[in-house]
Amino acid sequence: MSCGVPDRIATAAAVVCAVALAVVVVVLGVENPPTPRPVSTDSLGPDAGEPVADYLARAAVTLDEAAVDGADSDPRWGLVTFDDEVTATDADALTGDVRISQVWFRVPIDRVQTPIVPVGVAGAESVARASGLAAAQLHGTTGEWDRQARVDAVSAWRLTQDCACVVAVTVRAPLSELAALSDVAGVRSVESLPADAVFGRFAVRPLLPEQTEAVTPGPDDGEVPER
């Protein structure tokens, strides 16, 4: 019996310590709440399966000053797509003084699915070199299977030849300048994000020139050329 008393005292002390520790943890959690992760739903470009006409109308609304938030003078991120594939130099000319941030390449091959390759740029000279940088990205891939490796190889070669392979550019400019771009011949669509959108926290899905009815993958049963 004499040994039981100290055991009960030790147990009680342990319970008190555990309760005290739990209180400290709760207090620290209240005073130092975890930083919530930012939730981003911003995106540029059409959704998979979306009718092209719906996307074009939706993109046009983002340029309407009466329908968007923020001052017109605030720069915004936007996506510019083209009627047809163009060279990097032509893309730079079509966008004029609007700053290009990314160039989106996709080598067109009849009935062959080719990769979309984004290249970040910092100015007109970088835009001119972007095709070669896109080719270098593809040279670093091996493809998941033999066909994909051949697709990557021919795409990389054509990009080194400065092909007409640009399908879109990501730009940053005030709303009025983005709206003016939508009237440029050769520009198919311009879509703007809200002024508070942060680069790197929004998705980009370029509308491809051959997508005229719905945003769906094209056929991939064609022969892959050597060059």
Least confident of 6-15, 98-107, 167-176: 6-15
**pLDDT of amino acid 61:** 95
Least confident of 5-9, 65-69, 110-114: 5-9
With b meaning 16 or more CB within 10 Å and e meaning fewer, what string describes 77-90? bbbbbbeebbbbee
Over residues 17-23, mean pLDDT: 46
**pLDDT of amino acid 139:** 80
Query: Rounded to whole angstroms, what are the CA distances from 144 to 107, 128, 141, 148?
Result: 18, 30, 9, 6
**pLDDT of amino acid 106:** 98
Query: Rounded to whole angstroms, what are the CA distances from 94 to 18, 86, 90, 166?
Result: 69, 10, 6, 12
Count of beta carbons in the 10 Å neighbourhood of residue 157:
17
Integer-rounded Cα Rg, in Å, for the chain is: 27
pTM to 2 decimal places: 0.80
Summarize pLDDT for 137-191 with one digit per residue, the tens. Answer: 998 766 667 999 999 999 999 999 999 999 999 999 999 999 999 999 999 999 9
More confident residue, 200 or 8: 200
Q: Percent of the chain having pLDDT more than 70?
A: 78
**pLDDT of amino acid 67:** 60
**Which distant-in-sequence residues (6+ apart) come within 8 Å of 32 by Cβ?**
none
Both structure tokens of 181: 């771009």
Structure confidence at residue 38 as a pLDDT band (50, 70, 90): very low
Least confident of 49-63, 111-125, 154-168: 111-125
**pLDDT of amino acid 142:** 62
Structure confidence at residue 66 as a pLDDT band (50, 70, 90): low
DSSP string, 51-81: BHHHHHHHHHHTT-TTTS-S-TTSEEEEEEE
**pLDDT of amino acid 28:** 41
Residue 169, SS3 per DSSP: strand
Residues 215 and 48 sit within 8 Å (Cβ to Cβ): yes
> Across the chain, what does the average pLDDT equal?
85
